[in-house]
Structure 1
């Protein structure tokens, strides 16, 4: 009973605050430094600054809303190359050391990160995900150089490359093959641990220079030594590798903060540590902390008014629907239905309020606030006047879903401990809440009050993970299970009249068969159910019969007598006058017959569906219906729902509104607040409404944002979220309070939202856990200018300066993700053609072809091509450039591997690549698995698998065995099951396979399906199941479940899955076109096939039954 918020698409003691003010003379969080002679360049608050290498006051070099990073001095010290996001994409720029207008060098729509200059100083080295083909993620980067004056980048002859340093003569590089410098995971020891590799360009040879099980990164080649960063003593410090002796020694000895982003100058290294800059003199190997003052305006830390209508999370509706209450960016607002203005009733910078709930009597708005350092329940009057009242104390962690009782005296809520509570607000003093029940499997978040406010109904999970309905008596402080766990029941709601209990139940079995195998799943399983609370109450759907009614005069007299008696009793009970409305709120104690309640359950006559979000009004119930769709929405579309109403008296279902994402029902049951993406509206609780009806002015909501106060709150919130949800209550042995102090001292120095993410990332990285991520937030806005792609590779003809189309990537043009513009019907363009012009503008080096494709995505673009450089055979075509070509490159890589396997095995072995274990991976697996089940073997490639779902559904299919065969008179015998691999299986994996990509080979081995080949996987099987945003829309992840094996031991995490046969794809072999891991898989599976060819018994001789 009561108002219930339905979020349709979300189915699934305070520690001292850090000080807000930093000493003005001191600067910290100077990042990504580089040094040349007596100058240092670094990023501060998103801009580039230059300062003396001895410290002092820095001078601004750039000023733009777009962030500028990774600055590097040219070898002559006159120019600085850097990466910047001026047009919404990270590109390479240069600027004179003395300042000026940045010159743009790259235009490709994928990010480009400056790494260094070539020793000669004529080119800039950068890394980019462009041309990455192994995963549509993508998962790897490649190395490129570009002329300091611009032109077209040249790719280095390496399959993958990250942080890189040239030898003094430029003939070799020391580099990392993998990137982890932005990973928030300290003391990492998994398969992706970085090593320093050496590559010789002239000899095409490669070797690993380090083999430490942890991190060896940021190689810096100085004379005959490689300086680098390593966590060999658990904290990142600088080490030196002597190339002659191959001995390694430690150079720095920081113990509190990691060494970050070291960069080599002529004979010095500059680096970050704890937000400060240090300089290491390589002649003496002594390090010095620099005292630097950055006289920045800190414009991104200034208080300013911002629109917040697109940041609404929690929302509710008032008693009669005259106003809505919403939570936006940590404040609570009320918004009128029609007349008046919105109000910010909290206005608390640096304090986050959320999950508002309006009392049924209209007098209070309850919400959660972290004012005390932990989230507690508070009350405030709807007009914002008066003092805020704290209701609870002693919080056990993150709480949600406040629900008022109908008498407006109590509030239900649940928390992260899977516990349901209520608190009595009569005292208006902080008190400990009363525990109702605790689930052992999941959150309790579906609950409701009885109309007399003396009972609570809720759903609780059983050991079979099915939900059961419970009733809790406040008077007896006792819970009763009223439905069994044989069915999956959820979302119970009391009837306002006290006659019925409504709930949903997954008890309808409607198998849906697949098109590719004889298998099924169950959809549309929910029923809307109703149970009578009293044993003598008739079924709401009992047979009806038309009969003559009692005479009207008799009923009238009878009614007068009843009213007289009521009036008499009322006077006896109270001297004060009471309105009819007041008497209605004095509910009689509700009678509930617990015994036999489940036998009194009937289903509404509407048929099964996907139902959620149940609410009840007098004689009516409301619920949302979600269509059966693919496992996940594709193409970025959002799933929307239909709000239905069922009239109990008329026994009729009607559509209220379609296309919504959630709704709330007013306390009187007469009004509905709906949400349809960014649109909110208040409508009558009756059929026939459309999105846009009753629209309220949420888009005009505005508040004064104090970034520094918000940044402090979000840091504390991130700390609390990990404290509350991390799967190990001991926090992996980390002193979590100490970590808050260590990184909290950096928060007052944050001057850009990007830097707050860095500080939070360093904090959560101390957990030494996979899946600790920080993302998003209210970053400074820059206009995004798209750049179109044609799905091809270019090469510059050095004789003519023309651009030759060297490769056109074939697509799957029936799939919108794989459309290849130059392969569509009517486009007569071939490999070897020259691209002469784009939209009438001649193209010739040094003009970058991508510079002529700005703002071209999805727009008709005229290209001029010719098979000869002179243009005698020129022809023009209108094409539509695409936003990215990663799908085309991925498709090309997969098909090349499949062809290689087929050719090497005579077509006897199939090939499947699984890019992730989410929707894309499911589809790629299925589309390759079913056509190849009849092969003598299948190579399953999970290299570069980026994870997703727990992949047991993949393994189930791979582990199927034939049970029998069925003979027909004509044709071949039919197998059961049909979709089972006929032959042998081999799995290839590598360090880039993580999360679900770890679990896949782990399960593959546990089921003894075949050999694992490749290298050790990422090692990340502490997973995430929640998504809780921070105040400004950014977020972190809280790893909340970890894998342990059937022997009761933690497994895989921070190590990975070790293959049976280790094979390293050495760079020099890959450069020559080899894939040693795939080649080894072919060798192994063919050995198995030849040793014992898989076969199926032939049809036996028919029996003689004469």
Structure 2
């Protein structure tokens, strides 16, 4: 086997990649905006959207953080505030600052919109006339201030902030006057999403919230009940809890509306304070209800990137068909440097080129002579984890072209891609080539390890984990064995070998220590791996306890019973006088 190129070659490749750029295509740019043609609207009169230029008659998606008044809807699109008629139509931009505007809220009288602005290097509360105008800053603290709503009299803005928290991980509630001045902190030790009662004497709130988390169906300690706190009497009570996470309390009359994923998907519910009964209002199954916001007679929310309104009287939901005629400047085709977007790379067998994944494309770069080749050039498709075949012919990688990650091959000089797997349904890792250029090893988020023959294209499951991700390791030089690490009940990984011929798994280590990253030596005699089995306690400098550093070492096991250990025990022994005389005599003869 030829020696691996030095790190100098890698540095040269990285410098070369600085000159490499990808072109974002117009088709991908349009798809990135989330726009698609609007279906015909049933109306007796032409709507604003219908009379707009053709390029503006598009139904817009990716609208976030909506709020609703008696005649308008305000929302965030591409980091700016937009407002549209409540019935839908062409939206009008309210802000255009390079900083993000978030969480807009109409005042109850409809005259103002409060929002969180990331202006001047900080995150603060701003207010703007609902018809548009210059934003006015109301808070000036270096902490993050997030707008929640208004007091019912439209005189003060409610916001949450970590400005007074001993730990920045939790927030407290504050009120700031529409006219400005020092904010007033409410007597709640920890709070997040909050809504005032109609008389402003009580609040419905959650002590923590997970609206920015990407996990689903969370049932842990960060899923508190919705509480009701009386600001005058200093009393507290909780709404009945379901099995899911309850968020976004919205107080209207004698009812508290909220969203919950107790049925598996976030939907709208209502809790009647008189009857103490909870009732489900929506029944979405595909997408969660996100960022609901209460208006005078309706709740607006996002679902699947579109905006909907729930009429409180009839409890019927209707879509709000909004068209944003934006210049979508960030979606224009452009040439982008990919030097800062490199995620994975691999060297060619001889080290004369390297393959990189950057911005979802697969690119090869020469060490000295030649030009870069973008092998995939596929805007809208994400390729990753490229790896060169040992014979230098193919480059294997993962691609989500079908909507799920599958393994593909492509000739290293360019050409049509070859699909190897067709059973994707979960995030995958790898692949790793076998030395005979015929098989690929990969693993997935369901804790499974696989290999696939590139000709047969029939994946074979090697093992199934129970306690954590299986880490695909290495192929034996003869391509007949695969080594890998799998976590056990104590969450420490053990090393295993899988025989492709016997279809059998053999444990190499017992999992008492944490053993990972198995690698075969080039002759197939030894298996090297990392293990955390060094325990050298070091006294702490600031407290009276021991710390353990540098616990990991490189270890090896022999793969044949009759193979001598490269680390066989040795012992220097003192020889007796007779042995010394014999040795001296032999040396002189």
Select which of 186, 189, 193 maps to 1:156.
Answer: 186
Distance 2:294 2:461 in 1: 60
- The structure whose residues are more often helix, as a share, is 1
Find the residue that maps to 1:325 and give its secondary structure: strand
Q: Structure 2 matches for 1:95-174, cutoff 5 A?
A: 95-133=128-166, 136-139=167-170, 141-168=171-198, 170=200, 172-174=201-203
Distance 2:96 2:84 in 1: 16
Does the alignment pair 1:600 with 2:565?
Answer: yes
Find the residue that maps to 1:348 and give its secondary structure: coil
Return closer, same or farther for 1:102/1:361 CA change in 2, 3 Å cut-off: same
Instruction: Identify the residue that residue 457 of structure 2 maps to in structure 1.
Output: 431
Find the residue that maps to 1:310 and give its secondary structure: helix
Select which of 420, 423, 431 maps to 1:402.
Answer: 431
CA-to-aligned-CA distance 1:144-197 (integer Å, 9 cap, x gap): 122324333222233233333445554x13220424361556766666333241
Return closer, same or farther for 1:369/1:72 CA change in 2, 3 Å cut-off: closer
TM superposition shift of 1:75: 4.3
Instruction: Identify the residue that residue 472 of structure 2 maps to in structure 1.
Output: 445
Select which of 216, 230, 244 maps to 1:199.
Answer: 230
Instruction: Identify the residue that residue 105 of structure 2 maps to in structure 1.
Output: 72
Instruction: Identify the residue that residue 512 of structure 1 maps to in structure 2.
Output: 537
Q: Structure 2 matches for 1:1048-1087, cutoff 5 A?
A: none
Distance 1:489 1:209 in 2: 48
TM superposition shift of 1:316: 0.9
Return closer, same or farther for 1:603/1:298 CA change in 2, 3 Å cut-off: farther
Kept in 2, the 8 Å contact 1:123–1:146? The answer is yes
Find the residue that maps to 1:600 and give its secondary structure: coil
Distance 2:380 2:210 in 1: 31
Distance 1:383 1:232 in 2: 50
Kept in 2, the 8 Å contact 1:467–1:489? The answer is yes
Select which of 280, 290, 308 maps to 2:311.
Answer: 280
Return closer, same or farther for 1:197/1:308 CA change in 2, 3 Å cut-off: same
Distance 1:164 1:402 in 2: 47
TM superposition shift of 1:347: 0.9
Kept in 1, the 8 Å contact 2:35–2:60? The answer is no
Instruction: Identify the residue that residue 381 of structure 2 maps to in structure 1.
Output: 351
CA-to-aligned-CA distance 1:675-703 (integer Å, 9 cap, x gap): xxxxxxxxxxxxxxxxxxxxxxxxxxxxx
Return closer, same or farther for 1:356/1:604 CA change in 2, 3 Å cut-off: farther
Select which of 241, 244, 255 maps to 2:272.
Answer: 241
Kept in 1, the 8 Å contact 2:187–2:231? The answer is no
TM superposition shift of 1:238: 4.7
Kept in 2, the 8 Å contact 1:188–1:215? The answer is yes
Q: Structure 2 matches for 1:809-888, cutoff 5 A?
A: none
Instruction: Identify the residue that residue 950 of structure 1 maps to in structure 2.
Output: none
Return closer, same or farther for 1:83/1:335 CA change in 2, 3 Å cut-off: same
Distance 2:175 2:495 in 1: 63
Kept in 1, the 8 Å contact 2:293–2:301? The answer is no
Find the residue that maps to 2:175 and give its secondary structure: strand
Return closer, same or farther for 1:90/1:499 CA change in 2, 3 Å cut-off: closer
Instruction: Identify the residue that residue 117 of structure 2 maps to in structure 1.
Output: 84
Select which of 526, 530, 549 maps to 2:553.
Answer: 526
Does the alignment pair 1:22 with 2:33?
Answer: no
Distance 1:332 1:166 in 2: 53
Instruction: Identify the residue that residue 268 of structure 1 maps to in structure 2.
Output: 297
Instruction: Identify the residue that residue 1048 of structure 1 maps to in structure 2.
Output: none
Select which of 406, 424, 440 maps to 1:376.
Answer: 406
Kept in 2, the 8 Å contact 1:366–1:377? The answer is yes
Distance 1:529 1:510 in 2: 19
Select which of 44, 48, 51 maps to 2:77.
Answer: 44
Q: Which has the higher contact order (CA 8 A, sep 6+)?
A: 1
Instruction: Identify the residue that residue 694 of structure 1 maps to in structure 2.
Output: none
TM superposition shift of 1:131: 0.8
- The structure whose residues are more often strand, as a share, is 2
CA-to-aligned-CA distance 1:1078-1099 (integer Å, 9 cap, x gap): xxxxxxxxxxxxxxxxxxxxxx
CA-to-aligned-CA distance 1:440-468 (integer Å, 9 cap, x gap): 76524221331xx3543524559685634
Kept in 1, the 8 Å contact 2:248–2:258? The answer is yes
Kept in 1, the 8 Å contact 2:267–2:280? The answer is no
Find the residue that maps to 2:340 and give its secondary structure: helix
Distance 1:477 1:219 in 2: 56
CA-to-aligned-CA distance 1:757-793 (integer Å, 9 cap, x gap): xxxxxxxxxxxxxxxxxxxxxxxxxxxxxxxxxxxxx
TM superposition shift of 1:413: 1.0
Return closer, same or farther for 1:459/1:132 CA change in 2, 3 Å cut-off: same
CA-to-aligned-CA distance 1:910-930 (integer Å, 9 cap, x gap): xxxxxxxxxxxxxxxxxxxxx
Return closer, same or farther for 1:4/1:455 CA change in 2, 3 Å cut-off: farther
The structure with the larger Rg is: 1
TM superposition shift of 1:502: 5.0
Select which of 299, 304, 318 maps to 2:348.
Answer: 318
TM superposition shift of 1:60: 1.8
TM-score, scaled relative to structure 1: 0.41
Distance 2:215 2:332 in 1: 32
Gaps of 5+ in 1: 6-16, 534-593, 606-1106
CA-to-aligned-CA distance 1:849-889 (integer Å, 9 cap, x gap): xxxxxxxxxxxxxxxxxxxxxxxxxxxxxxxxxxxxxxxxx
Instruction: Identify the residue that residue 411 of structure 1 maps to in structure 2.
Output: 439
Kept in 2, the 8 Å contact 1:71–1:82? The answer is yes
Q: Structure 2 matches for 1:462-481, cutoff 5 A?
A: 467-468=494-495, 470=497, 472=499
Distance 2:464 2:3 in 1: 23
Select which of 204, 215, 229 maps to 2:258.
Answer: 229
Kept in 2, the 8 Å contact 1:528–1:604? The answer is no
